[in-house]
């Protein structure tokens, strides 16, 4: 018994004395789960070339910003990944905590794919309006907003297949869901005659309220199924059910092209070219943010950032494109590299 | 007493053969049969679900216990290796030259297609061998390296050759190149040691559980070192010394309550106290161990109190009778006798802790780190959080590795629970 007591107190003492000494030799990265696989790749490459293995944590874009903006010093992370640009409120939080020197780096684009099983014989091609009508909680029918009455795709448009609407998608906590609502549902909603009429009526607040509330709510009556944060689960569900569609990041479609096929949106299929050109409508930019106050203090941080922005990683044919990242055009990449090299601080975001 | 006729003897006072009585007996027996059937059905259901889980894990997981390798003859040309900086030489190019020699009939474009056969880690394996033994430079090194995940899938039947080329992860040229290697006998499928020897990686063929193992061990050590002494101390005081009054009743209720608090609550507590207030290292096994120690404390206290209670009062009284102090009674007599029960409770609490995930996700133990931690103060992952990370990775190879990791975790749990049963059988005393 005595020896156990002793070990415990020694350990507690060691813990109490060792922790406040903060010198950290590992880079710490938080942020978006969409950017996570790319940051992972760079971290591994960096470690393979002799750097101390960085600690990469997937916290989601918003969660990452919270931690990243927590302050300057070794117990705050050096980098955060984001699947959207930093918001004004987040920038203000950063400034409030003394994180004033931040460089923003655009690393590429990500598409949200809508996919079905290859066994499904229909050549799927939806407009965003059809996507909205299939998945929203409330849709306009004959000039009035009603609970979504559509059970089959053919109810929305007779040219669509006569099968029940079943869609697996991300839950509200996911950045992918935010992006889907903003990029697909809002645009589809705004394309309806009802929305156009409301906009012409001129009541800006009413219109904004309509978009923010009625266009954003996914239906809860069965056809839209929240499949959890795990995109692999959605892929497995689609394999089992050839009539279901799934919504997830493009990299999961890219890895499973033998089993799944893409649903075209407005006649455009999701691939690296259409996502980079934003021709495919459900595409978004990916970023990472660097805390410049940590550069030169945390060992290896500068080298890590340069590895991230190198042609070898971000360029066409680089190892991040092998993982499904839609890469930047060459001149854009040069701009990003220049901004990182010179530690150019980002301008405060406008919204 | 003469009126007692033979007919009124014990046998006939009650008519055992009457239909009404028979009916009652039948009813009782029927009741018993039903109870037995219900018991059997629930047991078989439980076993059925367990088997279903094990079978589904095993059918996806078994593939991850082997890994396709290719044997290469790497020419270590002194001109290509910088003698002043061996590690900094262009190893990628050396590997590409090796492949070019293996496929002499392919042009540059064709070679680019087959480059993907080698795992990204292959060049570093060759590099590390040469760094460890520079005398290899100038010779030809025969080395067996893993192939990349798509080719591993091809070898294990995960890629259907009949799928149209455009929808396949590998094109016809790549499959032809792989088949050529198979014909030459260079492809082998040995046991996947990388699964146990490597830390995490973004490449399934290189990813392993070493970092998670070490993280879990550190975490358990911290948890054990804190929860056991504190738990036993609290239990001894409550059971042997504390006065029985309202206050001690309140404490008892709270401890029983704590045992039922969802683990994620402890995670939130740890986030607020250990990380934000004390500023301990995010994601370190130290913080994880402290959190899980809080979680296992009630279990240990309850188990310890139960085993202290089970020690017969005669032993305490005998010791007190020959003049032992209260403290001597506890430490010389009661505690040693209660130890098997305490250890069993502790092991079960530890088994619970090793499989705990939710609070660890909140304190950042689900980070991606390609190196195992060297102290409990560095960020690390644990087995369940590693499973969590792998389950969310897009590469096909991680699907089977997730199942394999779950099987490994289950094996550890079986061992821990087996140890608890063994301890109980071995040392238990009945009075």
Is the confidence at residue A6, as pLDDT, over 50? no
Å from A308 to nearest chain B CA? Answer: 15
Q: Which helix (H) or strand (E) holds B409?
A: helix B397-427
**Average confidence (pLDDT) over B202-223:** 93
What is the C-alpha to C-alpha distance for residues B204 and B391, in angstroms, rounded to an integer?
Answer: 12
**In this complex, which of B160, B226, B286 lies closest to A258 when CB atoms are compared?**
B160
- Could you give phi then psi for residue B240, rounded to 5 degrees? -105, -30
Mutate to test the interface with B, among A22, A48, A75, A250 (most CBs of B within 10 A): A48
What is the C-alpha to C-alpha distance for residues A226 and A220, in angstroms, rounded to an integer?
Answer: 9
Q: Is B224 in contact with B288 (CB distance < 8 Å)?
A: no
Tell if the CB–CB gap between B167 and A41 is shorter than 8 Å.
no
**In this complex, which of A1, A11, A232 lies closest to B392 when CB atoms are compared?**
A232
Q: Which helix (H) or strand (E) holds B153?
A: helix B149-155
Nearest C-alpha neighbor of A103 from the set A297, A310, A294, A328:
A294
Bridge partners, residue B70, by sequence: B145, B187
Residue A84: pLDDT band (50, 70, 90) is confident
Residue B11: pLDDT band (50, 70, 90) is low
Residue A323: pLDDT band (50, 70, 90) is confident
Is the confidence at residue B431, as pLDDT, over 80? no
Å from B392 to nearest chain A CA? Answer: 5
Distances (CA, A) of B398 to A232, A296, B64, B150, B208: 10, 36, 9, 11, 11
pLDDT in tens, B395-427: 888 989 999 999 999 999 999 899 888 988 888
**In this complex, which of B124, B366, B391 lies closest to A230 when CB atoms are compared?**
B391
Q: Walk me through the domains of chain A, giving residue ranges and CATH numbers.
A: 24-110+284-341 (3.40.190.10), 111-283 (3.40.190.10)
Nearest C-alpha neighbor of B371 from the set B247, B175, B201, B228:
B201
Q: Average pLDDT of chain A? A: 84
**Average confidence (pLDDT) over A46-69:** 88
A 17-56 → B contacts, CB under 8 A: 18-20, 26, 28, 33, 36-37, 39-41, 43-44, 47-48, 50, 52-56
What is the C-alpha to C-alpha distance for residues A106 and B41, in angstroms, rounded to an integer?
Answer: 60
B 285-324 → A contacts, CB under 8 A: 286
pLDDT of the residue at A284:
86
pLDDT of the residue at B51:
95
Whether B278 and chain A come into contact, CB under 8 Å, resolves to: yes
What is the C-alpha to C-alpha distance for residues B366 and A36, in angstroms, rounded to an integer?
Answer: 12
Whether A72 and chain B come into contact, CB under 8 Å, resolves to: no
Whether A321 and chain B come into contact, CB under 8 Å, resolves to: no
Residue A10: pLDDT band (50, 70, 90) is very low
Instruction: Write the DSSP assignment of A99-157 as a string of letters.
Output: ---EEEEEEEEEEEEEEEETT--S--EE-HHHHHHHHBSEEEETTEEEE----BHHHH-
**Average confidence (pLDDT) over B283-304:** 94
| % of chain B at pLDDT higher than 90 | 52
> DSSP state, A184?
I
Whether A192 and chain B come into contact, CB under 8 Å, resolves to: no
pLDDT of the residue at A81:
92
Residue B12: pLDDT band (50, 70, 90) is low
* Residue whose tokens read 């950042």: B364
What is the C-alpha to C-alpha distance for residues A289 and A95, in angstroms, rounded to an integer?
Answer: 14
Is the confidence at residue A80, as pLDDT, over 90? yes
**Average confidence (pLDDT) over A112-126:** 88
Whether B161 and chain A come into contact, CB under 8 Å, resolves to: no
Q: Is A285 in contact with A78 (CB distance < 8 Å)?
A: no
Tell if the CB–CB gap between A258 and B167 is shorter than 8 Å.
yes
pLDDT of the residue at B69:
94
Instruction: Write the DSSP assignment of B357-389 as a string of letters.
Output: -HHHHHTT--EE-SS--SSTTS----HHHHHHH
Number of helices and strands in chain B (H, E): 18, 4
Q: Average pLDDT of chain B? A: 89
pLDDT of the residue at B353:
92
Å from A178 to nearest chain B CA? Answer: 19
Å from A266 to nearest chain B CA? Answer: 22
- Cβ within 8 Å of residue A8, ≥6 positions away: B225, B226, B228, B229, B230
Q: List, in sequence order, the alpha helices (H) in chain A.
A: 2-18, 36-48, 61-68, 88-96, 128-135, 153-156, 175-180, 186-190, 193-200, 204-209, 231-240, 250-255, 272-276, 301-308, 311-314, 319-322, 330-341
> DSSP state, A57?
E
Q: Walk me through the domains of chain B, giving residue ranges and CATH numbers.
A: 69-188 (no CATH), 210-427 (1.10.3720.10)
pLDDT of the residue at A290:
94
Between B208 and A172, where is the model more confident? B208
Distances (CA, A) of B119 to A40, B56, B92, B95, B170: 16, 28, 11, 11, 15
What is the C-alpha to C-alpha distance for residues A92 and A349, in angstroms, rounded to an integer?
Answer: 9
A 137-176 → B contacts, CB under 8 A: none
What is the C-alpha to C-alpha distance for residues B21 and B278, in angstroms, rounded to an integer?
Answer: 76
Please give the ipTM for the structure prediction. 0.74
> DSSP state, A292?
G
Nearest C-alpha neighbor of B413 from the set B387, B375, B374:
B387
What is the C-alpha to C-alpha distance for residues B14 and B334, in angstroms, rounded to an integer?
Answer: 56
Query: What residues in B contact A269, CB-CB < 8 Å?
Result: none
Nearest C-alpha neighbor of B161 from the set B180, B179, B177, B175:
B175
pLDDT in tens, B325-372: 999 999 999 999 999 889 989 999 999 999 999 999 989 898 899 989
Max mean pLDDT among A73-77, A143-147, B262-266 falls in: B262-266
Is the confidence at residue B1, as pLDDT, over 70? no
- Cβ within 8 Å of residue B395, ≥6 positions away: A255, B149, B202, B203, B204
Radius of gyration over every alpha carbon of chain B, rounded to an integer in angstroms: 32
> DSSP state, A53?
P
**Average confidence (pLDDT) over B87-95:** 83
pLDDT of the residue at A15:
46
pLDDT of the residue at A14:
46
Is the confidence at residue B87, as pLDDT, over 50? yes
Mutate to test the interface with A, among B369, B389, B395 (most CBs of A within 10 A): B369
Q: Is A12 in contact with A39 (CB distance < 8 Å)?
A: no
Tell if the CB–CB gap between B395 and A18 is shorter than 8 Å.
no
What is the C-alpha to C-alpha distance for residues A126 and A270, in angstroms, rounded to an integer?
Answer: 12
Q: What is the biggest distance separating any 2 CA atoms in chain A, rounded to whole angstroms?
A: 81
pLDDT of the residue at B406:
95
Query: What residues in B contact A323, CB-CB < 8 Å?
Result: 202
Whether B226 and chain A come into contact, CB under 8 Å, resolves to: yes
Tell if the CB–CB gap between A57 and B283 is shorter than 8 Å.
yes
What is the C-alpha to C-alpha distance for residues A270 and A254, in angstroms, rounded to an integer?
Answer: 10
| % of chain B at pLDDT higher than 70 | 97
Angle between helical axes of B122-132 and B91-102 (0-180°, round to 10) = 110
Q: Is B369 in contact with B275 (CB distance < 8 Å)?
A: no
* Residue whose tokens read 């293996």: B102
Tell if the CB–CB gap between B369 and A1 is shorter than 8 Å.
no
Between A277 and B42, where is the model more confident? B42
pLDDT of the residue at B167:
75
A 210-229 → B contacts, CB under 8 A: 229
Bridge partners, residue A287, by sequence: A82, A106
Whether A1 and chain B come into contact, CB under 8 Å, resolves to: yes
Around A287, how many Cα atoms within 13 Å sit in the side-chain half-sphere? 20
What is the C-alpha to C-alpha distance for residues B289 and B219, in angstroms, rounded to an integer?
Answer: 4
> CB pairs below 8 Å between A and B: how many?
114
Mutate to test the interface with A, among B367, B388, B397 (most CBs of A within 10 A): B367
């Amino acid at each position: 018994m005595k020896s156990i007591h002793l070990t415990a107190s020694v350990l507690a003492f060691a813990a109490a004395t060792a922790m406040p000494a903060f010198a950290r030799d590992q880079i710490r990265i938080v942020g978006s789960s969409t950017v996570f696989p790319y940051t992972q790749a760079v971290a591994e490459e960096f470690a393979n070339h002799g750097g101390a293995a960085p600690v990469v944590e997937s916290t989601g874009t918003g969660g990452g910003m919270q931690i990243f903006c927590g302050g300057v010093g070794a117990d705050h992370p050096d980098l955060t990944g984001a699947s959207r640009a930093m918001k004004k409120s987040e920038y203000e939080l950063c400034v409030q905590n003394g994180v004033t020197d931040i460089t923003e780096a655009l690393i590429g684009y990500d598409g949200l794919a809508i996919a079905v099983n290859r066994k499904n014989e229909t050549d799927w091609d939806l407009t965003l309006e059809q996507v909205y009508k299939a998945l929203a909680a409330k849709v306009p029918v004959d000039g009035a907003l009603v609970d979504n009455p559509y059970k089959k795709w053919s109810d929305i448009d007779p040219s669509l297949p006569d099968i029940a609407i079943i869609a697996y998608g991300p839950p509200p906590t996911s950045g992918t869901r935010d992006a889907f609502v903003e990029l697909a549902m809002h645009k589809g909603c705004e394309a309806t005659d009802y929305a156009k009429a409301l906009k012409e009526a001129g009541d800006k607040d009413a219109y904004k309220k309509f978009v923010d509330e009625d266009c954003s709510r996914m239906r809860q009556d069965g056809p839209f199924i929240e499949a959890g944060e795990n995109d692999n689960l959605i892929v497995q569900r689609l394999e089992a059910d050839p009539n279901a569609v799934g919504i997830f990041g493009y990299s999961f479609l890219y890895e499973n092209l033998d089993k799944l096929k893409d649903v075209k949106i407005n006649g455009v299929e999701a691939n690296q070219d259409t996502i980079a050109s934003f021709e495919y409508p459900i595409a978004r930019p990916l970023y990472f943010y660097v805390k410049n106050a940590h550069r030169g203090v945390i060992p290896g941080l500068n080298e890590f950032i340069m590895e991230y922005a190198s042609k070898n990683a971000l360029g066409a044919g680089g190892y991040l494109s092998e993982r499904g990242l839609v890469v930047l055009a060459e001149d854009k990449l040069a701009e990003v590299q220049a901004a990182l090299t010179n530690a150019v601080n980002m301008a405060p975001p406008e919204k | 007493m003469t009126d007692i006729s033979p007919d009124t003897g014990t046998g006939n006072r009650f008519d055992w053969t009457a239909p009404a009585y028979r009916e009652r007996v039948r009813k009782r027996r029927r009741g018993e049969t039903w109870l037995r059937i219900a018991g059997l059905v629930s047991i078989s259901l439980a076993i059925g679900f367990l088997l279903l889980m094990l079978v589904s894990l095993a059918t996806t997981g078994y593939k991850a216990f082997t890994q396709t390798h290719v044997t290469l003859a790497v020419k270590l040309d002194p001109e290509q290796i910088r003698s002043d900086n061996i590690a900094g030489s262009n190893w990628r190019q050396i590997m590409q030259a090796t492949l070019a020699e293996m496929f002499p009939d392919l042009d540059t474009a064709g070679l680019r297609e087959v480059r993907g056969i080698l795992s990204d880690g292959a060049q570093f394996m060759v590099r590390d061998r040469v760094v460890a033994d520079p005398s290899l430079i100038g010779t030809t090194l025969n080395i067996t390296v893993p192939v990349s995940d798509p080719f591993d899938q091809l070898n294990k039947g995960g890629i259907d050759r009949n799928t149209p080329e455009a929808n396949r992860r590998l094109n016809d040229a790549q499959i032809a190149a792989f088949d050529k290697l198979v014909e030459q006998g260079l492809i082998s499928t040995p046991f996947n040691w990388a699964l146990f020897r490597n830390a995490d990686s973004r490449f399934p063929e290189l990813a392993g559980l070493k970092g998670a193992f070490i993280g879990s061990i550190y975490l358990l050590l911290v948890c054990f070192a804190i929860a056991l002494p504190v738990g036993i101390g609290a239990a001894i005081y409550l059971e042997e010394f504390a006065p029985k009054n309202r206050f001690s009743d309140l404490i008892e209720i709270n401890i029983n309550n704590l045992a039922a608090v969802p683990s994620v609550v402890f995670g939130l507590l740890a986030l607020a106290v250990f990380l934000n207030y004390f500023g301990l290292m995010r994601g370190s096994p130290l913080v994880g161990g402290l959190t899980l120690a809080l979680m296992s404390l009630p279990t240990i206290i309850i188990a310890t109190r139960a085993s202290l209670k089970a020690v017969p009062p005669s032993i305490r009284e005998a010791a007190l009778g020959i003049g032992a102090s209260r403290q001597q009674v506890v430490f010389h007599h009661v505690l040693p006798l209660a130890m098997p029960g305490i250890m069993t409770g502790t092991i079960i609490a530890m088994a619970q802790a090793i499989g705990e995930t939710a609070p660890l996700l909140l304190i950042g133990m689900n980070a991606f780190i390609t190196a195992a931690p060297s102290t409990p103060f560095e960020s690390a992952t644990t087995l369940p959080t590693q499973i969590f990370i792998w389950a969310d990775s897009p590469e096909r190879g991680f699907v089977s590795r997730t199942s394999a990791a779950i099987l490994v975790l289950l094996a550890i749990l079986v061992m821990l629970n087996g140890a608890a049963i063994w301890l109980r059988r071995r040392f238990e005393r009945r009075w």
